Chains A and B, each alone.
Chain A
Amino acid sequence: DVKVTQSSRYLVKRTGEKVFLECVQDMDHENMFWYRQDPGLGLRLIYFSYDVKMKEKGDIPEGYSVSREKKERFSLILESASTNQTSMYLCASSRDRALFFGPGTRLTVL
């Protein structure tokens, strides 16, 4: 069965902190994605990775970076968290263009 896990369901951080969101998939998928979800805006793509150490910017990459050192793990990094990064963060991997999502991390930046 397809499984994508995210390290935290809820996270509270302070402005200026460096934040790491971890995502792991057990399906041997090459492509992995980070989206953020905000009310009324749907899902917006932050970054994606199509292979180990390979990444491409999505639609809203500013203030974020990513790391993919192993095929199964894709990390999203907020270099210096700001209040406007308070959001739900969703990780996904894909097969045949279909996305399989993790449960999400609800991040609050105070």
Chain B
Amino acid sequence: AQSVTQLGSHVSVSEGALVLLRCNYSSSVPPYLFWYVQYPNQGLQLLLKYTTGATLVKGINGFEAEFKKSETSFHLTKPSAHMSDAAEYFCAVPFTGRRALTFGSGTRLQVQP
């Protein structure tokens, strides 16, 4: 079955620490991969988009994601967390045969002062 798995529904880091949010997908290499961010009481905002060819993708707010074909992973990182990064993050994949994106269940990032 086609699925997107985000390991860890909640992640807590200290301000200034590395942020690592994990995403794995179950399919052959998709043409695109996405990360979205959702701040409280808001809709989802596109954080970054991977397209075939690149392995490291830079997004907004200092986030980046690395595509690893051998691991079917697309983990999101940020070198130094800021309080304003506290939000929920979703990984999304357009599986073959589906027009819509399939989303992971989300990871809520908490940043401690």
Contact = CB atoms under 8 A, between A and B. Distances in A.
Interface of A: 4, 31, 33, 35, 40-45, 48, 50, 56, 58, 90, 92, 96-104
B42 A103 contact: yes
Contacts of B103: 35, 42-44
B34 interface: yes
Chain B contact patch, size range: 20 to 34
Contacts, number: 52
Interface of B: 9, 31-32, 34, 36, 41-46, 49, 90, 92, 94, 99-106
25 contacts: A31-B99, A33-B100, A35-B103, A40-B9, A42-B104, A43-B90, A43-B103, A44-B103, A45-B102, A48-B99, A48-B100, A50-B99, A56-B99, A90-B43, A90-B44, A97-B31, A98-B34, A98-B46, A99-B36, A99-B46, A99-B92, A101-B44, A102-B43, A103-B42, A103-B43
Given A43-B103, A98-B34, 19 more contacts: A4-B43, A33-B100, A35-B103, A42-B90, A42-B105, A45-B100, A45-B102, A48-B100, A50-B99, A97-B31, A97-B101, A98-B32, A99-B34, A99-B36, A99-B46, A101-B44, A101-B45, A103-B42, A104-B41
A103 B39 CA distance: 10
Given A42-B90, A42-B105, A43-B103, A104 B43 contact: yes
A58 B104 CA distance: 16
Contacts of B42: 103-104
